[in-house]
Structure 1
Amino acid sequence: MGRAAPSRYLWISVCVLLFVHARSFYLPGVSPQEFKKGEALTVKVNKLTSTKTQLPYTFYSLDYCRPPKIVDSAENLGEVLRGDRIENSPYEFKMREPQMCNILCRKTLNAKTAKDFKEKIDDEYRVNMILDNLPLVVRIERTELRVYQQGFNVGVKGQYAGTKEQKHFIYNHLTFTVKYHQDKETGATRIVGFEVEPFSVKHAYEGEWSEKTTTLTTCNPHAKREVTSSESPQEVEDKNEVIFTYDVRFQDSEIKWASRWDTYLLMADDQIHWFSIVNSLMIVLFLSGMVAMIMLRTLYRDISKYNQLETQEEAQEETGWKLVHGDVFRPPANSDLLCVYAGTGVQFFGMTLITMIFALLGFLSPSNRGGLMTAMVLLWVFMGLFAGYSSARLYKMFKGTEWKKITLKTAFMFPATIFAVFFVLNALIWGQKSSGAVPFGTMFALVVLWFGISVPLVFVGSYVGFKKATIEDPVKTNKIPRQIPDQPWYMHPAFSILIGGILPFGAVFIELFFILTSIWLHQFYYIFGFLFIVFVILIVTCAEITIVLCYFQLCGEDYQWWWRSYLTSGSSALYLFLYAAFYFFTKLNITKPVSGALYFGYMLIGSYAFFVLTGTIGFYACFWFTRLIYSSVKID
């Protein structure tokens, strides 16, 4: 009965969580939706975003026109964590029925609403909308190469009528272009594009105002110009009257529904990605050559020569890595902590690998909004099984006996650190009244995932791992530790660790630029094929640089390789964080202290996770290498 209780608790938690977050597994927009002429199209509004503040806000946090009732769309876990807030809108489209100068509503600004609009214009906020799961985009290049940007600016700040004073103008007239593709065989009409061109127009009308009967004298195609040359742009000031209008036009397109995201994801820098791959491959080939030379020439010669020695006296004349065979598998200091970090690294590695495989298969494309974040969270939770197993196996090899103690540390140390930093950052976002703050219900769901699924799975993995037979060392360990001779300066632990992290970082830093750009400049990232190749190169680079430096360390008769192997490749996280700081000061235009704290807080979390991932790869590569070479030596 006692053994069945944890299992029952685990399955109850799983069922409850799957029921609560069942919509997290729904892949929106994966099947085409067909529309008939005159059929109503649902336009939804999403968050307001800014690359200057990194703080999203809901669309209706500004005094825009509202529908009779605001209805929130069902959002998955990833969308909530990203700060998406999808709601209905007052815009009314009908398929293939163009509309000219539709009046949405009239607003009279007061001091507060005018201030809100001015602040959002100063911070360069953009309005995001969605039609048939396609994001609203603005074409920013008028050449043959179409380049788009998500959303349109709330407004613009500039001079007007020759004055030197900077004024704020709101984009109150929107010209929408809905692109559709009509299948000649079936006659099905599907939406393949959603674009907008914003204008600032100070509308005029005659007589008394009525939304149903009033005709605007300013709403015609010739009056819509850029704000800087417009005869009457709409200024944002207290007590100003703002009339929101929109046009809708439909454009036939040769783009098929299956390829409708290709235009949005078109990038002109594929050559840079290929340069990144070639650069990384050169590093891998260099390291592979060194490893091959060590393994095939030096080690093979050393092992053959050592095994041919007939007397113990002759063996003692040998120097280098053979002499430390009696100490090389001596448990390191803080071995419990090493077990915890190794297990956590296995958990993170499994999550990353499976996430990338799903992305390659198309399940986590940008059309599945929030899918990437949802998959990462859920996979992290279920990979707890492997974290517990790995840490327990290593712990038992180090002659540990309190497996429950190491299990608790594995289940709580890394997640608690991340959750604490995330909680502080979320409090900062909540203090700014941003929609990016994770609601209490979602925080509770994350805690349930952690305590209800992840922790029990870590215990299950640890129990299974600890029941396995102990990993036997290939050589016996001496009772008295051998004295380590003085090392040359270039083999000092701090120096070799810092040098070891350069090459793994060098293999990924070009692709890292695109990842940071997609996160902090709100651009699409979709080239998961490149990313997967870079990830494989990262694995090989971490393994090879750690093996090379571990071999040099053992040749210097320094047998304390356990922690150094972890820190050698893990130190690449330090360079990642330094590069993030460089990116912040050179590519971003963040000025608010809260936004800067958010950036460095999240990048600290990312760097910490990268340290655990790369450190674990290097550690297990060195662990395999040392067992391989010492199992090849005949020792009585």
Structure 2
Amino acid sequence: MPPDCRITTILLCWTTLFSALYDAFYIPGYSIQSYKDDESIPLLVNKVYSDNTQLQFAYFELPFVCPPTGNKQSGSPFGSGHSVPLNLGEVLRGDRIMTSDFEINMNQDIECRYLCDQSVTRKDVRRAQQLIEDGYVTEWILDNLPGATSFVTVDRSRKYYAAGFKLGEKELDLDSGKMRYVLNNHFTMVIRWRKAPGKEGTRGAKVVVGFEVYTKSIGGSHRNETGCPEVSGDHEKFQLYIAPNNTELAAKYPDSSYLPEDDMDVHDGATLTIPYTYSVYFREEATVEWSNRWDLYFTDQSESTVTHWLAILNSLIISGILGAIVIVILSRTSQGDLRGRGDSYLEEAKFRTRTRRSGDRKSPKGGLLEKITETEVDEDLSSDDEALDDVTGWKLLHGDVFRIPPHAGIFAPLIGSGMQLLFMVTGLLLLSCLGVLNPSFRGGFVSVGFGLFIFAGGFSGYFSARVYKTFGGQNWRKNMLMTALLFPGLLFSLVFILNLFVWAQASSTALPFGTLMGLASLWLLIQVPLVYLGSWYGYVKTEAWQHPTRTNATPRQIPAQSWHTRSLQVVLLAGLVPFAVLFIELMFVFKSVWQDKSGYYYVFGFLSVVSIILIITVSEVTIIATYIQLCSENHHWWWQSFFVGAGSALWVFAYCVWYYATRLHIQGFISSILFFSYSFLACVVYALLTGTVGFLTAYAFVRRLYSATKVD
């Protein structure tokens, strides 16, 4: 590719990313949309989704709903069926937002209006029945509010919303005693408004503070000349059923709308006409402020506050106990153990080092000049261990504790990716606590998170290069490529493979091919150059981390380890403690993400506090585990500290398996694959982040521990 083309492509990617973030930016109180009487309010249709499956479908792609006519509403430059521009987060969450044919004008009630008659085949009826069986609900959007089903508490003291409304119901037919499917084909929309704040309100403008949708199933009979039924009162429900067109088949498959292809052709021409109508009512709601209109969607806000505080208290207790143990360790090593190191051995080590640095000098007997090389000093130092029979524990590892770990070429890129994720998560939590990332910023959490991840490539390259240089690496460009391609490559490959499964289901959860290419361009054309710049600066412009002790030429033999100091046992036991800190808050996150997809996780203040305590706990656990390992005369602490920090990810994944088996009702092989794949990916991200924190803490602790043996 010519240089000019490459520069143009990179600039285009940067412009696209910035424009996506800018268009989706939203601050509560400063993006108020007000409407005057009779002004058109566009209603957007999005998708259908279910808590029982991970597959979502665009609303207009369903064969049994009214297709868009393309007609323009008053005040709108686009006709129905026009796709609304989406940010990256909306695309990744499966949104497919389009304009609709619903005519809604501020403060104009509509008792009933005909929408369309949709003709469906047996196959379409079967599709509708399957979606109703799986509990799918519909998402519409008006003034950036999702259409909600309204509920009240048992004591009727408060009302709350559940986003979305059901496609239909599966119920018992009292006449036949068999189950039947009924479709909701009439929509009653209640739009709650109040006077707009400021000067707009004095001019008669109004703002929307609530959008409720009440569905009803009404049969095709008893309709007037406009196609509208009598909305009030009881009606015969609209049943999704096409009678068999053959007497023999009717006897073989009674009450069946979809007959097997072996017995009849599903394209036999039999159809069912579904009439759709809607009503609109505007109601003033003076008790709800525009800035608080999302509060009704937070169903457990008041009830869960006490639980969140209990989670924080539980975390503080665990972290406090571990902190006391760490203080005891630091006090012992600085006052007791280090005092024992000031013996003749240390004095001899200082003498040998001064001799090596002085170069050639005359012997006391006046003989030839004696030159002591660094290799000879190291061999002498290693041989001195035999004379230290009275010294035990971590003090014996002074010459091996900073030995380069095995597979160091992979270790450095993992630390770099962990720092990249740490920067991303910190930025997301900070912006969420400030209110920038809120439920009305649809897809904002994912969009901003991806942007932070891309821009944090510089941090990734810098820290990876520093660790790589500390290990004595020479080919920093190879390390840079490993850092830029290892974790992002795993992430992109997994998403691409999962996308193939979802594509086969024609689900809106599948990413369009253009989006995949855009993500790959952002990765290769923006992140990789940033990783290169960070690696260049970290390797060329900065010095390697200097260790306080020298490394012996011959590795020290590691004695047999007790069962509780072996790698797997340490990782599992140490990982259980951070998981106990995270467990209660994890329940709320899982409920919002998996069990109630229509809900919104909003308590980022509590999550931030728990996250800080979690990081502190991981650091404390890693210090304790590293100290125990060094006291067992095991100097392989590099990878061990990383795995100890990441150990709670194993428990989180085990919790995912338990949650799937006991709390979720996910149906279908594809949905199960998506659940476990995304859970695995989330645990990998969590492991990289906490593992990096564990390593950096252990490295700082080991440097402090052995700094007293540093010779001048």
TM-score scaled by structure 2?
Answer: 0.84
Aligned to 2:671: 595
Tell me, what secondary structure is at the counterpart of 2:41?
Answer: strand
**Kept in 1: contact 2:461–2:538 (CA 8 A):** yes
**Kept in 1: contact 2:163–2:297 (CA 8 A):** no
**Kept in 2: contact 1:13–1:453 (CA 8 A):** no
**Kept in 1: contact 2:114–2:226 (CA 8 A):** no
What is the distance in 2 between the residues matched to 1:270 and 1:189?
A: 33
**Structure 1 residues 217-236: aligned runs within 5 Å:** 218-223=229-234, 231-236=235-240
2:648 pairs with one of 572, 579, 582: 572
What is the distance in 1 between the residues matched to 2:230 and 2:514?
A: 46
Aligned to 2:312: 277
Aligned to 1:290: 325
**Kept in 2: contact 1:306–1:315 (CA 8 A):** no
Bigger mean CA offset, 529-538 vs 482-491? 482-491
Aligned to 1:319: 392
Aligned to 1:415: 488
**Kept in 2: contact 1:179–1:250 (CA 8 A):** yes
Aligned to 1:387: 460
2:442 pairs with one of 349, 369, 387: 369
Aligned to 2:241: 237
Deviation at 1:204, TM superposition (A): 2.7
Deviations 1:365-420 (A, max 9, x none): 11100111111111111111111111111111111101011111111111111211
Deviation at 1:168, TM superposition (A): 0.4
**Kept in 1: contact 2:60–2:68 (CA 8 A):** no
What is the distance in 2 between the residues matched to 1:341 and 1:550?
A: 19
Bigger mean CA offset, 240-249 vs 525-534? 240-249
Structure 1 residues 185 and 438: CA distance shift in structure 2, 3 A: closer
Structure 1 residues 466 and 185: CA distance shift in structure 2, 3 A: closer
TM-score scaled by structure 1?
Answer: 0.93
Deviation at 1:164, TM superposition (A): 1.5
Aligned to 1:250: 282
Tell me, what secondary structure is at the counterpart of 2:100?
Answer: strand
Deviation at 1:200, TM superposition (A): 0.9
Deviations 1:488-529 (A, max 9, x none): 221122211211111112211221222222222202101111
1:546 pairs with one of 598, 617, 622: 622
Aligned to 1:35: 35
Given residue 101 of structure 2, which amino acid in structure 1 is its aligned partner?
P
Given residue 317 of structure 1, which amino acid in structure 2 is its aligned partner?
D
What is the distance in 2 between the residues matched to 1:590 and 1:215?
A: 39
1:25 pairs with one of 18, 22, 25: 22
Aligned to 1:262: 295
2:194 pairs with one of 166, 177, 181: 181
Aligned to 1:453: 526
Tell me, what secondary structure is at the counterpart of 2:24?
Answer: coil
Aligned to 1:152: 165
2:226 pairs with one of 197, 202, 214: 214
Deviation at 1:51, TM superposition (A): 1.4
What is the distance in 1 between the residues matched to 2:26 and 2:123?
A: 38
Equivalent pairs, count:
618
**Structure 1 residues 471-510: aligned runs within 5 Å:** 471-510=545-584
Deviations 1:313-341 (A, max 9, x none): 99662211111111100101111111111
**Structure 1 residues 76-87: aligned runs within 5 Å:** 76-87=87-98
Tell me, what secondary structure is at the counterpart of 1:109?
Answer: strand
What is the distance in 1 between the residues matched to 2:151 and 2:61?
A: 26
What is the distance in 1 between the residues matched to 2:288 and 2:170?
A: 36
Tell me, what secondary structure is at the counterpart of 1:221?
Answer: coil
**1:629 correspondence with 2:705:** yes
**Kept in 2: contact 1:24–1:75 (CA 8 A):** no
Deviation at 1:145, TM superposition (A): 3.0
Aligned to 1:514: 588
Deviations 1:166-188 (A, max 9, x none): 10000111111111111476423
**Kept in 2: contact 1:343–1:388 (CA 8 A):** yes
Structure 1 residues 394 and 621: CA distance shift in structure 2, 3 A: same
Given residue 390 of structure 2, which amino acid in structure 1 is its aligned partner?
E
Structure 1 residues 256 and 590: CA distance shift in structure 2, 3 A: same
1:617 pairs with one of 665, 688, 693: 693
Tell me, what secondary structure is at the counterpart of 1:389?
Answer: helix
What is the distance in 2 between the residues matched to 1:298 and 1:20?
A: 55
What is the distance in 2 between the residues matched to 1:509 and 1:546?
A: 19
Given residue 502 of structure 1, which amino acid in structure 2 is its aligned partner?
L
Aligned to 1:61: 61
What is the distance in 2 between the residues matched to 1:493 and 1:233?
A: 64
Aligned to 1:302: 337
**1:563 correspondence with 2:642:** no
Identity across aligned pairs (percent)? 35
Tell me, what secondary structure is at the counterpart of 2:103?
Answer: strand
Aligned to 2:405: 332
Aligned to 1:584: 660
Aligned to 1:194: 211
Structure 1 residues 214 and 12: CA distance shift in structure 2, 3 A: closer
Aligned to 1:210: none
Deviations 1:84-107 (A, max 9, x none): 000011111111111112211122
Over aligned residues, Cα RMSD in angstroms? 2.0
Deviation at 1:222, TM superposition (A): 2.1
Given residue 293 of structure 1, which amino acid in structure 2 is its aligned partner?
V
What is the distance in 2 between the residues matched to 1:510 and 1:602?
A: 21
**Kept in 2: contact 1:72–1:86 (CA 8 A):** yes
What is the distance in 2 between the residues matched to 1:185 and 1:366?
A: 24
Deviation at 1:190, TM superposition (A): 0.5
Given residue 25 of structure 1, which amino acid in structure 2 is its aligned partner?
Y
Aligned to 2:121: 110
1:352 pairs with one of 425, 437, 441: 425
What is the distance in 2 between the residues matched to 1:455 and 1:414?
A: 12
**1:100 correspondence with 2:111:** yes
**Kept in 2: contact 1:10–1:453 (CA 8 A):** no
Given residue 257 of structure 1, which amino acid in structure 2 is its aligned partner?
W
What is the distance in 1 between the residues matched to 2:161 and 2:207?
A: 21
Deviations 1:552-595 (A, max 9, x none): 11111111100100011212111111110111111111120111
- Give unmatched runs, 5+ long, in structure 2: 71-80, 243-270, 349-383
Deviation at 1:147, TM superposition (A): 3.0
1:16 pairs with one of 12, 21, 45: 12
Tell me, what secondary structure is at the counterpart of 1:147?
Answer: strand
- Give unmatched runs, 5+ long, in structure 1: 208-212, 224-230
What is the distance in 1 between the residues matched to 2:33 and 2:450?
A: 29
Structure 1 residues 133 and 565: CA distance shift in structure 2, 3 A: same
**1:439 correspondence with 2:512:** yes
Bigger mean CA offset, 307-316 vs 186-195? 307-316
**Kept in 2: contact 1:38–1:95 (CA 8 A):** yes
Tell me, what secondary structure is at the counterpart of 1:222?
Answer: coil
**1:50 correspondence with 2:59:** no
